[in-house]
Structures are given as C-alpha cells and as structure tokens.
C-alpha cells in the first residue's frame, strides 16, 4: 500500500470512493474539489498496488474560539481492504501533520449507529462528547461528536449549531467541563 497526499488528479477516484463507502451521504465532486484546493484542508490517500485509490481521509483546519482545531470530515476505506490497518495509517498521517502545525484539538462527527467507526476512533484516543446532532445525515440518522486533544492543556469543545455531513460545516462551540463528557460517555458506548 502507498500513502500520500491527494491532488486534483485524484478527484474522480475520490468521488467514486466516497460514493462506494457512503452511499447517499457521499461528498459531492464539488465539495471534494474544494477540499483538494483549500490550503487549510489536507487529503491523504491510500493506493493499492493496482493503482486504485482504496482509502482516504479529509481534514480541515479551523480556528475555533482561539484554538486551532483539526476537523476530520471524511475517513473511508473500500470494504475489501478493511481491517488491515489502512484507516489507522491514514489517521496517523493526518494527526502527525497537524501535530507539527501545533493543532490543539481534533474533532469529528460519526453516526450514532456506526459502532465500527466509533470503536475505531476510541481505540485511537478519541472521546465521545455529550452532544448529539439530530438528523445530521440525509437518512435522518443522528450523529455524535468525538474529540481528541493533541495538546494536553486543552479541554474538549462541543458544538451547538450545525448543518449536516454533506455541508460539512458546523457552527460555534461551547466548552463543557471534562466531568460531563465522561459521564455521558457511559450512556453511549
């Protein structure tokens, strides 16, 4: 497997990958293109020996309440390549890149029913916050927010207003004490 940054030449392959992995929630070609050209976004790809792109991760940096926050907008691996550590490698690349940029916190939305992805993120040090985003996905499914502090000094941020996965943009944040986060985690394994 080869890993590296994606560019505009990968646009159609990434679109196909999104459609295969996310069905009706797939990012549009336009949104993927925006991420590929956005200097604050980073897109890593995993390429099989055949040349096929079989996984990617999309992250965008934002300054939120004075804290440089890395938002993970998409992570997917083709089904036949799963459970081989591809997603773990992609996540590590993104986190390493952002750590070098002094990013304080990472954040992502994940479907409440997507226990595979939730377990994956928990294993990689992400914590569930107390916030549920009702109807975040087009099929009406709710999302929950997971965060990871890259800097030990930061406390988790929780967003209030939001749009949806397809729009990929969330609104302002409120800060919750770590104690409430831990209590909530026990209710939503």
Ligand X SMILES: CC(C)(COP(=O)(O)OP(=O)(O)OC[C@H]1O[C@@H](n2cnc3c(N)ncnc32)[C@H](O)[C@@H]1OP(=O)(O)O)[C@@H](O)C(=O)NCCC(=O)NCCS
Specify whether the CB–CB gap between 46 and 94 falls below 8 A.
Answer: no
Q: Is 114 in the site for ligand X (CB under 6 A)?
A: yes
Tell which residue, 129, 61, 156, 145, has the closest CA to residue 100.
61
Q: Segment 60-99, which members bind ligand X (CB under 6 A)?
A: 75-77, 82-88
Within 10 angstroms of residue 111's Cβ, the number of other Cβ atoms is 19
Q: Where are the alpha helices (DSSP H) in 110-159?
A: 115-123
Looking at 41, 62, 68, 120, which residue binds ligand X (CB under 6 A)?
120
Q: Which is nearer to ligand X, 42 or 108 (CB)?
A: 108
Q: Is 54 in the site for ligand X (CB under 6 A)?
A: no
Tell which residue, 174, 177, 169, 107, has the closest CA to residue 144.
107
Structure tokens at 59: 């992250």
Looking at 2, 5, 40, 119, which residue binds ligand X (CB under 6 A)?
119
Please, what is the minimum distance in Å from the beta carbon of residue 17 to ligand X? 9
Structure tokens at 161: 């207003």
Please, what is the minimum distance in Å from the beta carbon of residue 78 to ligand X? 8
Q: Is 175 in the site for ligand X (CB under 6 A)?
A: no
Binding site for ligand X (CB under 6 A): 21, 75-77, 82-88, 108, 110, 114, 116-117, 119-120, 123
């Amino acid at each position: 497997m080869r890993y590296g940054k994606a560019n505009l030449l990968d646009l159609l392959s990434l679109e196909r990958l999104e459609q295969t992995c996310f069905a009706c929630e797939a990012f549009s070609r336009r949104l993927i293109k925006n991420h590929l050209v956005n200097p604050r976004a980073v897109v890593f790809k995993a390429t099989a020996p055949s040349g096929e792109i079989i996984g990617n991760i999309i992250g965008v940096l934002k300054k939120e309440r004075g804290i440089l926050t890395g938002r993970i907008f998409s992570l997917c691996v083709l089904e036949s390549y799963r459970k081989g550590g591809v997603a773990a490698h992609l996540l590590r690349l993104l986190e390493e890149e952002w750590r070098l940029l002094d990013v304080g916190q990472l954040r992502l939305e994940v479907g409440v029913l997507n226990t595979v992805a939730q377990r994956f993120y928990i294993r990689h040090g992400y914590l569930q916050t107390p916030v549920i985003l009702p109807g975040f996905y087009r099929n009406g499914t709710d999302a929950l927010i997971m965060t990871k502090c890259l800097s030990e000094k930061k406390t988790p941020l929780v967003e209030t207003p939001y749009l949806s996965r397809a729009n990929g943009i969330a609104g302002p944040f409120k800060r919750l004490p770590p104690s409430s986060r831990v209590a909530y985690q026990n209710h939503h394994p």
